[in-house]
Structure 1
Amino acid sequence: MKKAEIKLSIELDDQNIPEKITWESTDSEKKDAVPSKAFMLSIWDHNYQNTLKIDLWTKEMPVDEMKRFFYETLMTMGDTFQRATGETAIVEDLRDYCAHFAEKMEITRPE
């Protein structure tokens, strides 16, 4: 059995606000930690039937990038949900909402 690890490192200021976030994986070709400005981690707790979550972002995360981050996260969640459940109709509804979200947040596709 293959085993891989993902490591997140967060440097906090004196008020426990993230200043620097990096991540690395034992399964990656990159050997150095990769910087990031934000992450969302959700883990399903089967015993308690709920989600454990960690959402962090650095002080340097611009609002326009946070809007795109949410948009892309929502789109990816739809893709994942469709692969996991086969539920196509509700995922189309989510994609419609994502288009609405992008329009309201004035998110444009990167060129």
Structure 2
Amino acid sequence: MRKTQITIDVELDENHVPENITWNAEDGGIDKQETKATMISVWDDKTKEALRIDLWTKEMPVDQMKMFIHQILISLGSTYQRATGEEDVAQWMEEVAEEFATKSAIK
């Protein structure tokens, strides 16, 4: 068995607000790459619920956060399609993402 690691380092200010976020993924060739936001979800099989960590720095512009959320919504549809094979639901999720883009004024 082989192991790999993905790590996220968060520097906080005196009020525990993220100032800097970097991430590492050795297998992907990522070493201390800066980012302004991250969203991590894991599935807790015992409680049957998604657990999340959403972090963004003080420097993350609102317009970029909107784009980030939009791209996540699109990728959720793609992930759903690959996991379930339900193309109609995945298409609907993409439509929701496009409606979000319109309502949030990024498209």
Q: TM-score range by the shorter chain?
A: over 0.9
Identity %: 44
Give the AA of the match of 2:65: M
Instruction: State the 1:63 CA deviation.
Output: 0.3
AA aligned to 1:34 is Q
Aligned to 1:19: 19
Q: Match for residue 91 of structure 1?
A: 90
- CA deviations on 1:7-44 (whole Å, 9 max, x unpaired) are 100000011000000000121224x3000000100000
Q: Which residue of 2 aligns with 1:66?
A: 65
C-alpha deviations, 1:31-70, integer Å up to 9, x for none? x300000010000011111111100000000000000000
* CA-CA distance at 1:94 after TM superposition: 1.1
Structure 1 outlier segments of 4+, above 6 Å: none
Following TM superposition, by how much is the alpha carbon of 1:2 offset from its aligned partner in structure 2, in angstroms?
Answer: 2.7
Moved more, 34-43 or 91-100: 91-100
Q: How many residues were matched structurally?
A: 107
User: For the residues of structure 1 that align with 2:26 and 2:3, how far apart are their CA atoms?
Assistant: 9
User: Using the alignment, how far apart are the partners of 1:25 and 1:98 within structure 2?
Assistant: 28
Report what 1:52 is aligned to: 51
Q: 5+ unaligned residues in a row in structure 2: which ranges?
A: none
Secondary structure of the corresponding residue to residue 97 of structure 2:
helix
Distance 1:104 1:51 in 2: 26
Superposition TM-score, scaled by structure 1 size: 0.91
Q: 1 CA distance for matches of 2:29 and 2:47?
A: 36
